[in-house]
Amino acid sequence: MDEPRPSGRRLAVLTLAALGVVYGDIGTSPLYAFRECFYGEYSLAPTPGHVLGVLSLMFWSLVVVVSVKYLALVLRADNRGQGGIIALLALITPPRGDHRWGRRVLVTMALFGASLLYGDGMITPAISVMSAVEGLKVATPALGPFVIPLTVAILVGLFWFQHRGTGQVGMVFGPVTLVWFGVLAALGLGSIASYPGVLRALNPMYGAVFLAETGLRGFLVLGAVFLVVTGAEALYADLGHFGRRPIRLAWYTVVFPALVLNYFGQGAAVLRNPEAAHHPFYTLVPAWGVVPLVVLATAATIIASQAVISGAFSLTRQAIQLGYCPRLEIRHTSPEAAGQVYIPPVNRLLAVCTIALVLGFGSSSRLAAAYGVAVTTTMFITTCLFYVVARERWGWGRLAAGVPAAAFLAVDASFFAANVGKVAHGAWFPLAIGLAAYLTLSTWKQGREVLARRFLQTSRPLESFIASDQAQESIRVPGRAVFMTGNPGYTPAALVHNLRHNKVLHEEVVVLTVITEDTPRVPPKDRLEVERLGDGFYRIMARYGFMEDPHVPHVLRLAKDHGLEFALKETSFFLGREVILASHRSGMPVWRERLFQFLARNAQPARGFFHVPPDLVVELGAQVQL
């Protein structure tokens, strides 16, 4: 689908906003990425050959991974303007009845890749904020004991602020990040001017020679080199907020030049003085500039962290709409921007785990040793899904799709192999978080499918129920009742229970089904479908995209255009509330049945999720065996 091409003032505004949201993560990598190559787990001596080799690998990683893979190709794989691995999941989700093994594997990969982003959402704020605050130790070692308490205080404030929404500070994100990239470029340019020979690293041969001469140790340093591209997945995930053109323009005009200049500036500083490898970023400024730079870096890392946290909220919201996550409380923090949401349970989980990472690892260098495996896995999965989309959606031939995919997979696999050794040094944590998230999402999806099958086994078609003696001979009472169900073709359980126990039917009975489509948004003209079934029965089907929130009162207002007018205060809503019982016959392992029970008990009630006024709701409980 062709996206609108913004221009002029609109393009400038979107480009500036993209700087703050899209590039916050990748823009703070200079704080720690280059340092880890010479001061990390597999550090090398800062010799000229090693410095030029590392810089060459960093430069070409930015070119191949960001400029070519994501900006030139992957950004084209949008789902009606929306990007991210969840959008890819919707694009490759098999139709009902398609049980091909290969397609199911792709769906599993996409879901696992999305799950790993939760680990990224925990470790990115921890490593970014801590690496910025550690600059205080450069200003004066006496401030070293205050690094961890100050980092924790900043993170507590950041997560506490989430309930206020990003709109209040969103206007300053872009300008502050623009200043940050300007400072990165200026610092790097000044350092390069004193040692221009560092620009030889633009030649890819320096990277190739570095890998050939250093062998396994040099290959493992790729795990630190990878840190320069860890924010690349955000380029794709935020496609729907800004569009391709502003994201690409921001990269080529501001971000890419600033990053390259700063990395090469750090390299020049280390070539002049090998001792600078301990804190190459902060050695680019004189002593009087360290504290102001720490303040600016901290602001930049808070912005980068905010983008990752907001991304976790958006990911959860999409997963809920697609049926992979239990209903959770979703608060909208902006009346203008529908995408700005706050999910309290997710925020609490991120806060606890992020602060635990800071306290457990104690330094950004140790956190860097835990960073990379989860992100490389997500990038690997994105490449695989890109190939499928290119073949099936764009009609590319095997060669046209396979050559770039194979090249990207080779790069992804190299980075992954270089990072695998980090698992023993803390990388197990984001992987464990990702695995836990995947098991939760997949268990909920599978459990709901089992319940749907149980429902079909015990339910009767709606038309059959309407024509039955039970319905025809029942007492009809004044008023209108709305029964919500997930399957519009069958009689809602709440309707059957109400008739069985109360022995009455309302004069007008509405069976309402909310359907989430595999597209981000549904056009208003396709939102509602109203069908008259006779004898005072109506069927309403409301369609929403996975980026939209269903709103039942709004649906009922729209029904007026279809000849069905509702007086909300005179309408009763009957909702079913199932109590899940383990049966050991569901085909799910016992532990998954128990997990599904726990998730179902703690899911937000349907009345809150669908915005049904609580004083109009009648809940009818039922026990259901898996």
CA distance 413 to 421: 13
- pLDDT tens digits for range 505-527: 888 899 999 988 877 788 888 89
CB contact set of 244 (below 8 Å; sequence gap of 6+): 3, 75, 76
Number of DSSP helices (H) and strands (E) in the chain, helices first: 26, 8
Out of 330-334, 444-448, 507-511, which region has the weakest mean confidence (pLDDT)?
A: 330-334
- pLDDT tens digits for range 199-257: 999 999 999 999 999 988 889 899 889 999 988 887 787 776 677 888 899 999 999 99
Residue type at position 361: F
pLDDT at residue number 268: 95
Q: Is pLDDT of 59 > 70? A: yes
- pLDDT tens digits for range 258-276: 999 999 999 999 999 998 8
The pLDDT of 387-397, averaged and rounded, is 88
Q: Is pLDDT of 292 > 70? A: yes
Asked if residues 342 and 60 have their Cβ atoms less than 8 Å apart, the reply is no
Structure tokens at 2: 């062709």
Domain ranges across the chain? 9-324+334-447, 460-625
pLDDT at residue number 519: 78
CA distance 560 to 550: 18
**β-bridge pairing 341-342 and 331-332:** antiparallel
DSSP secondary structure string, 225-257? HGGGGTTHHHHHHTHHHH-HHHHHHHIIIIIHH
Structure tokens at 624: 């259901």
Burial (Cβ within 10 Å: 0-12, 13-18, ≥19) of residue 529: middle
Banded model confidence at residue 610, pLDDT cuts 50, 70, 90: confident
Out of 91-100, 210-219, 389-398, which region has the weakest mean confidence (pLDDT)?
A: 91-100
Q: CA quadruple 229, 231, 233, 239: dihedral positive or negative? A: negative
Asked if residues 535 and 508 have their Cβ atoms less than 8 Å apart, the reply is no
Burial (Cβ within 10 Å: 0-12, 13-18, ≥19) of residue 570: exposed
Strands (E), 7-88: none
Structure tokens at 325: 């996550």
Residue type at position 491: T
> Which of the two residues, 62 and 490, has the higher pLDDT score?
62
Give the Cβ contact number of residue 403 at 10 Å: 10
Average pLDDT, the chain: 85
pLDDT at residue number 334: 57
Q: Is pLDDT of 2 > 50? A: no
Q: Is pLDDT of 338 > 60? A: no
Banded model confidence at residue 494, pLDDT cuts 50, 70, 90: confident
Structure tokens at 560: 């007026």
Classify domain 9-324+334-447 by CATH number: 1.20.1740.10
CA distance 500 to 491: 13
pLDDT at residue number 333: 64
Q: Is pLDDT of 551 > 90? A: no
CA distance 195 to 197: 5
pLDDT at residue number 234: 75
For residue 61, give the nearest of 453, 296, 399, 412 by alpha carbon: 412
pLDDT at residue number 97: 47
- pLDDT tens digits for range 137-146: 777 777 778 8
For residue 519, give the nearest of 318, 332, 313 by alpha carbon: 318
pTM of the model: 0.81
Q: What share of the chain is helix, strand, coil (3-state, %, to 5)?
A: 70, 10, 20
pLDDT at residue number 14: 78
CA distance 39 to 27: 20
The pLDDT of 427-453, averaged and rounded, is 88
| Strongest mean pLDDT among 94-108, 191-205, 537-551 | 191-205
Terminus-to-terminus CA distance in the chain, angstroms? 41
Out of 378-387, 539-548, 579-588, which region has the weakest mean confidence (pLDDT)?
A: 579-588
pLDDT at residue number 100: 64
For residue 170, give the nearest of 4, 25, 293, 334 by alpha carbon: 334
The pLDDT of 114-132, averaged and rounded, is 86
3-class secondary-structure state, position 123 = helix
CA distance 37 to 42: 7
Q: Which residue has the tokens 């290969």?
A: 102
CA distance 59 to 263: 9
Banded model confidence at residue 467, pLDDT cuts 50, 70, 90: confident
